[in-house]
Amino acid sequence: MSKEKIRTFLDNPDNGFFIGVLLMLISGLGFAIMGLFVRLSGDIPSIQKTFFRNFTVFFVSFYVLWREDHDIRHLKPTKHILFFLLARSAFGLLGVISNFYAVDHMPIANAQVLNKLSPFFTIIFAALFLKEKMNKVQIAGVFLAFVGVVFLASPDVGSMNWSQIFPILIGVLGGLCAGAAYTCVRYVAMHGVAGSFIVCFFAGFSLVALAPSLIHFQPMTPTQWFYMFLIGLFAMIGQYGITFAYRFAPPNKISIFDYSSVVFSMILGMIFLGQIPHGTAIVGSVIVFSAFLMMFIYNRTHATHKNK
C-alpha cells in the first residue's frame, strides 16, 4: 500500500474507530510485555524501575518528535493545555509507580487486572469532565468487562491480611490515576497536541520528578540493565499506542479494548512464568472477550447506520 493510500485511510474520519481499536490492542500487548519484564527484573525499587522505564521512553520519543518537526521550539502549548499536560504527567507517573509496586508485591496477573480498571475510570472521567456521553450499550460493555476482571482477579478476601490488601489498594489507585491520565490525553489530543509531544512531555516530567530518588540507587546486574531497557521499550510501544488511539476515537468507544492486556498478560505468564490460569480466570477471559465483541459489533453497526 502506497503512502498516499495509507494517509488517505488515516485521514478518513469513518476509519477512526477501527484504527483506535488496532492501536489499543498494540498498546495492550506492549504494556503486557512490559509487565513481564518488570517482574523478571527482580527486587529493584519500583521508583527506580519507573525512572529507567521513562528514561528510554524520553529519548526515543524525543528523537521521533525531532524527526517529525526539527523546529521543536515552536511547540509552546497554551497555559490551559499546559495544565492538562502537567496533570496527565502527574497522574501518569503516580499510576506507573503504583502499578510497578503492585507487580512487585502480588502475582503479575492480578496486578495487571487491577491496573486495567483504568478504562472504567477513563470513561467516568471523560463523561464528567469532557462531557462525552455514554449510552446504555457502552455502560453495559464497561460493566461486563469489569465483571470479567473481577473473575480474573478472584481475590480470596476472607483469608487476606493487611500485607496482601495494601498492594491491592495501591493497584486500584494505579488504575484510577491511569484513567485520569488518559482522560487528559484525550483532551490535549482533541486540541491538536501531537501524540509524540504528549509522550515526550510525560517522560521528561517523570525524569525530573524522580531524579532525586537516584540518591538511593540500587546497583543492577547486566541482565537487569537489559531488562530496564526492555521495560522502557515496550512501555513506549504501549504509550504510543494508547496516546494515538485516543487521538482517533473517544474513550467511551475504545477504552474497553485496553482490557486486552489482561489476556495478553495471562498468556505471557503461562509461557514464561509457568502461571497456569485457574477456572475463574478462564471464565473471566471469556467475559472480557464477550465485552470486546459486543462493543466492536455495536460500534461497527452504529458507524454503518450513521453513514447511510
How confident is residue 279, by pLDDT bands cut at 50, 70 and 90?
confident
The mean predicted confidence, pLDDT, of the chain is 81
What percent of the chain lies above the pLDDT cut of 70? 84
Instruction: Report yes or no: 268 and 33 within 8 Å, Cβ to Cβ.
Output: yes
pLDDT exceeds 70 at position 22: yes
Q: What is the pLDDT of residues 230-245, one digit of tens each?
A: 999 998 898 788 878 8
Instruction: Tell me the pLDDT band of 76, cut-offs 50, 70 and 90.
Output: low
Q: What does the pLDDT read at residue 66? A: 80
**Residues 190-216, mean pLDDT to the nearest whole number:** 88
Per the CB < 8 A criterion, the answer to whether 231 and 37 are in contact is yes
Sign of CA dihedral 185, 186, 187, 188: positive
Q: What are the C-alpha distances in Å from 182 to residues 14, 104, 128, 251, 271?
A: 23, 24, 14, 8, 30
For residues 16-20, give the mean pLDDT: 85
Query: What pTM value is reported for the model?
Result: 0.76
